[in-house]
Structures are given as structure tokens and as C-alpha cells.
Amino acid sequence: MSPRRPVRVTVEPLEAARELTALLEDYFAELDAEAQPPLVSIVPIDAHRRGTVIYRVIQASRTIAKRYPDADMLLQTEDGERWRLPPPAI
């Protein structure tokens, strides 16, 4: 696997996906608005920053959840799992 594999998040509705992309623009987030559901992808600049990108995605997902309470966000993990965002408190 490439050390620069993208962090991917499916987001519905499209407006929420656009806003998540905007919140993560410093990380060069890209939106595939044609995907069903819309897909936000962020390629870390190197293998060491993948965790940082995931952390920022989680933080941004909290903002989206407040602004779009009915938004459906799923982080697609490397092993094919899907994690609901924002994660529940532990």
C-alpha cells in the first residue's frame, strides 16, 4: 500500500460535503460531487501525517454535525470498514 493513501469520507447531503471540503481546504481536500454518496478525499503530504489528517477530519465532522444534524458521514477505513462521524464520546 502507498504511504500516501487518501483519507476518504462519504458525506450526505451534498451541501454538507461541500462544507466539509471547505473546512479541510488547508489539507487539499477534494470533493467528488458525482459520487453516490458524495466523497471527500484528502491525500496526506506524507505517511507521517495520515493520523493528523484523520484527526482533523474528525474535528471538522463535529462542526458539520452541528450545522447539518441530519448529515450522514462515514470514514472509509483502509480495511474496508466504515466508521460513523463524528465518533461517539467514550
The verdict on residue 9 lying in a domain is: no
Reported as a single tens digit per residue, the pLDDT across 23-74 is 999 999 999 999 999 999 999 998 889 999 999 999 999 999 999 999 999 9
Eight-class DSSP state of 28:
T
The verdict on residue 4 lying in a domain is: no
**pTM (two decimals):** 0.92
Tell me: pLDDT of 17 over 60: yes
What is the C-alpha separation between 22 and 19, in angstroms, rounded? Answer: 5
| Structural domains of the chain, count | 1
Could you list the residue range(s) of the whole structural domain that residue 68 is in? 17-85
**Which cell goes with 64?**
458539520
14 three-state secondary structure = helix
